Structure 1
Amino acid sequence: MATVRGLIVVVLLGWTGSVAQPDESVWDALREPGSIVVLRHSYAPGTFDPPTARLDDCSTQRNLDEAGRAQATRVGEAFRRNRIAVGDVLSSPRCRCLDTARLAFGKAQAWGVLQGALNDTELRRRQVAEMRSAMAAHRGGPPLVLVTHGSVVTDLTGLAIRMGEFVVLRRAADGTHGVAGRLYIE
Structure 2
Amino acid sequence: MIPVFDFRVLFVGVAFSVGLSGMNHAYANDAAWQKLAEGGKVVLMRHASVNTGRGQGNSLLRDPSCKRERNLSSEGEREAREVGKQFQERKIPISDVRHSPFCRTADTARIAFAQGGPAAYLSLLEILGADEAAAQTRALSHVIGEYAGEGNLVLITHEPNINAVSFEMMKQSDFLVLQPKGGSEFEELGVVRWSGSD
- Establish whether TM, by shorter chain, passes 0.5: yes
Runs of 4+ off more than 2 Å = 13-21, 31-34, 45-55, 171-176
SS at match of 2:156: strand
2:50 to 41, 44, 48: 44
Structure 1 match to 2:85: 77
Q: Whole-Å Cα distance in 2 between the matches of residues 39 and 92 of structure 1? A: 11
CA RMSD of aligned residues (A): 2.5
Give the partner amino acid of 1:98. A
Aligned pair 1:53/2:43, yes or no?
A: no
> Shift of the alpha carbon at 1:83?
0.9
- Separation of aligned partners in 2, 1:173 and 1:138: 8
Assess, with a 3 A threshold, how the Cα gap between structure 1 residues 111 and 55 changes in structure 2: closer, same or farther: farther
* Equivalent position of 1:7 in the other structure: none
- Which sits farther off after the overlay, 170-179 or 65-74? 170-179
How many residues are aligned here?
A: 174
Superposed, 1:79-98 pairs within 5 Å as 79-98=87-106
- State TM-score, norm by structure 1: 0.83
Map 1:13-162 to 2 at 5 A.
16-18=17-19, 20=21, 22-46=28-52, 50=58, 53-118=61-126, 120-162=129-171
**Structure 1 regions of 5+ residues with no counterpart?**
1-12
Percent sequence identity over aligned pairs = 24
TM-fit CA distance, 1:177: 1.2
Larger gyration radius, structure 1 or structure 2? 1
Contact 1:38 1:166 in 2 (8 A): yes
Please say if residues 26 and 168 of structure 1, whose CA atoms lie closer than 8 Å, have aligned partners that are also in contact: yes
Deviations 1:8-45 (A, max 9, x none): xxxxx967524546222111211334210011000002
Structure 2: runs of 5+ lacking an equivalent: 1-13, 22-26
Maintained 8 Å contact 1:29/1:170: no
CA contact 1:42–1:164 (8 Å) conserved in 2: yes
Distance, in Å, in 2 between the alignment partners of 1:91 and 1:146 is 6
Cα deviation, 1:25-76, whole Å, max 9, x if unaligned, reads 1112113342100110000023896388343120110000111000000001
Shift of 1:135: 1.6
- Relative to structure 1, the CA distance from residue 54 to residue 176 in structure 2 (aligned partners, 3 Å threshold; closer, same or farther) is closer
Taking structure 2 as the reference length, the TM-score comes to 0.78
Shift in CA distance, 138/19, structure 1 to aligned 2, threshold 3 Å: farther
